[in-house]
Amino acid sequence: MAEPRCGRSDLYNVRTSDVVPWKNQTITYSVSTNSTLFAHEDLKLTIRRVFDVWSSNIPRKFQEVDNELLADIKVRFGKREHGDGAPFDGPGGILAHAFIKGLLHFDDDEIWKKYSASEQIIDGTKDIFWVALHEAGHVLGLDHTKVFDSVMQPSYVASIDSNGNYIEPSLISTDIEDIQEIYGGKTKPKSKFLQE
């Protein structure tokens, strides 16, 4: 059986241009209800958390909109051929993919789960937060990396402690450096002292 991984090919740390993918300060996104198995509300919470993580490191805000046609980033599920010329492969293998033009798709043939901290991992499930954090990195312009522990490595790894309990994945320093290379760092708010 093919190892669970991202559908994007492995071009490591190759940026094809210096263009900033999203120049707008506020990037909109939509979360579709089209999964046959996964709860819409859980997906909305997961995607909100994912964009909060990226947003806390770059000068961009993310805002959810209801109308998919108006959203910069369109989050939805797909099975097999689903209209973008990059068909999914059924259970296992490719879990998700994302394109810089703003499509972020999960394979609806996987068993997805939204985990809470310290929860025991269930065999065969995939942590939707890890995959969403990774795919959002692609939408924002990042490629795959070989850096151990980076959220941008292409193969799925369950994020667990030595007892097999869930730890929420987070960005490591190279992820933050890579994303800030594109968008710059977070502008420091003026301190109260300086405003006086």
Annotated active-site residue 196? The verdict is no
Residue 72 assigned as binding residue: yes
Query: What CA–CA distance (Å, rounded) separates 43 from 191?
Result: 36
Report if residue 71 touches Zn ion, rule: CB under 5 A: no
**Shortest distance, position 4 Cβ to Zn ion, whole Å:** 12
* The CA-based dihedral angle spanning residues 7, 10, 15, 21, taken in that order and rounded to the nearest 10 degrees: 10
**Residue of 3, 135, 177, 196 with catalytic role:** 135
What's at 68, amino acid-wise? E
**Shortest distance, position 193 Cβ to Zn ion, whole Å:** 43
Considering only the stretches 8-16, 27-35, 41-49, 119-127, report the one whose residues sit in contact with Zn ion under the rule CB under 5 A.
8-16
Report if residue 105 touches Zn ion, rule: CB under 5 A: yes
State which residue, 143 or 183, has the beta carbon closest to Zn ion: 143
Phi, psi at 105, each rounded to 5°: -120, 135
Contact residues for Zn ion (CB under 5 A)?
Answer: 6, 8, 78, 84, 105
